[in-house]
Amino acid sequence: MQVPERVTICEVGTRDGFQIEPDFIPTEHKIDVVNRLTEAGVPRIEVTSFVHPKAVPQLRDAEAVMAGIRRRPGTRYAALVPNDKGAARAVDAGVDAIHTVLSASESHNLANVNMTIAESTDKLRAVAQIASRAGVPMQCGISTAFGCPFEGDVPVDHLQSLIARLVDLGARGIGLADTTGMANPRQVATVLERLIPRFPGIEWTLHTHDTRAMAIPNVLAAMQLGVTHFDASIGGLGGCPFAPGASGNVCTEDLVHCLHAMGIVTGIDLDRLVAVSRRVEQIVGRPLPGQIIKAGPSTRTYPLPDGITERLPARVGG
Ligand code: COA
Ligand code: ZN
């Protein structure tokens, strides 16, 4: 199996996850989670979003969270923005990168950001100018890239022309988001085989949701095509409040465990990451969908039941 030596994880739990929590997570808890993720060695964190506080009241403390976190040199702290107003707020708050949001489908874009795709791309032109003036990279995420909960299929031709517009605006990276877990591995491979050669120099990120248990298979399919950047949420938190049927992202500790088991380097300390997930479970007050937090790593072994040890045959070859 062809796999990369190293993969870069971007943790999105404090944004994609906390945005959909029914209760407002206190600012100091958000800061604490970001600090613990930093200490666990997570190289990129999408800390929050600078959106309208009425649209996503759960993240209305974006400035305070950015101001409160302890930043480790080398860790990239990004935020999600939908428009120029959000970009200006993000730059003032000192983000290292701007992640923009736009949907591949008109219906989801209207539901999510109250704009047509054309209106959104106009706003993203202004975002690009703000990012470039501030010297921060712009990564453009495309929601519903593999299917829309309102419209169904998203034609790859349409996706390609949208990406071409974003690359023209100055996107250094493109994030393909499977907002409601509609993608399957074969589809991911087909789409990436088509897109990657057409946009040389672009950093591709796959943003998966595990709504239909296809997130890790989709990551594996993308890795086979050379993608090395993946978004994930601690504990498997996550979901878009404006997409019916949305549920959590691929769980960060489950993905990191899978990658490490295959010998792929992430730079993340899995034990510390699992401890962060336990802390997040306390904060949200319920168990999260992650598996590793329950099962432990695949290297875990258990003591034998009574009476078995004496009956074990000697191992051939010692
Ligand atoms: N942050 C804070 N305020 C903002 C803002 C931002 N990023 N963008 C716009 N506003 C303010 C404007 O200043 C204006 O304020 P005013 O009425 O005091 O003049 C008001 O919001 C309306 O501006 P408008 O451009 O018409 O925005 P809108 O009401 O059409 O909303 C968005 C558009 C994009 C701001 C809103 O839909 C949004 O924030 N969506 C976020 C969706 C999201 O986060 N989804 C989950 C992630 S995938
Ligand atoms: Zn998402």
List, for residues 261-317, the tens digit of each pLDDT value.
999 999 999 999 999 999 999 999 999 999 999 999 999 999 999 999 999 998 877
Q: Which residue has the tokens 């996550």?
A: 238
Q: CA 202, 38, 7, 213 torsion: positive or negative?
A: negative
Q: Which of 20, 21, 49, 52 to mutate to test the pocket of ligand 1 (most atoms within 8 A of CB)?
A: 52
pLDDT tens per residue across span 41-74: 999 999 999 999 999 999 999 999 999 999 999 9
Is residue 249 within 8 Å of 33, Cβ to Cβ? no
Residue 269 has what pLDDT?
98
Q: Read off φ and ψ for residue 257, nearest 5 degrees.
A: -60, -45
Could you tell me the pLDDT band of residue 131, with boundaries at 50, 70 and 90?
A: very high
Q: Which of 51, 84, 242 to mutate to test the pocket of ligand 1 (most atoms within 8 A of CB)?
A: 51
Quick check: 318 pLDDT over 70?
Answer: no
Beta-strand relationship, 8-11 and 97-103: unpaired
Ligand 1 atom nearest 16 alpha carbon: 47
Say what percent of the chain tops pLDDT 70: 99
Residue 87 CB–ligand 1 contact under 6 Å: no
Quick check: 248 pLDDT over 70?
Answer: yes
CA separation for the pair 243, 313 (Å, rounded): 57
Terminal-residue alpha carbon distance, the chain: 30
Residue 316 has what pLDDT?
74
Average pLDDT, the chain: 97
Specify burial of residue 168 (Cβ count, 10 A radius: 0-12, 13-18, 19+): exposed
Q: Tell me how far the alpha carbon of residue 317 lies from the centroid of ligand 2, in angstroms.
A: 50
Question: Has 240 been annotated as catalytic?
Answer: yes
pLDDT tens per residue across span 113-126: 999 999 999 999 99
For the entire predicted model, the pTM comes to 0.97
- Hey, what are 107's tokens? 């219906």
| Protein residues placing their CB within 5 Å of the ion ligand 2 | 16
Specify burial of residue 313 (Cβ count, 10 A radius: 0-12, 13-18, 19+): exposed
Q: What is the mean pLDDT of residues 28-40?
A: 98
Is residue 49 within 8 Å of 87, Cβ to Cβ? no
- Hey, what are 201's tokens? 């120099």
Considering the candidates 10, 148, 240, 258, report the single residue annotated as catalytic. 240
| Angle formed at CA 143 by CA 141 and CA 147, multiple of 5 degrees | 140
Residue 103 CB–ligand 1 contact under 6 Å: no
CA separation for the pair 197, 152 (Å, rounded): 26
Is residue 268 within 8 Å of 232, Cβ to Cβ? no
CA separation for the pair 134, 128 (Å, rounded): 10
Q: What is the mean pLDDT of residues 167-176?
A: 97
Q: Tell me how far the alpha carbon of residue 12 lies from the centroid of ligand 2, in angstroms.
A: 8
Residue 218 has what pLDDT?
98
Q: How many residues belong to the chain?
A: 318
Is residue 160 within 8 Å of 150, Cβ to Cβ? no
A 10 A CB-CB count for 282 gives 9
Say what percent of the chain tops pLDDT 90: 97
Per DSSP, the residues of 158-211 read HHHHHHHHHHHHT-SEEEEE-TTS---HHHHHHHHHHHGGGSTTPEEEEE-B-T
Ligand nearest to the CA of residue 85, numbered in listed order: 1
Q: What is the mean pLDDT of residues 23-29?
A: 97
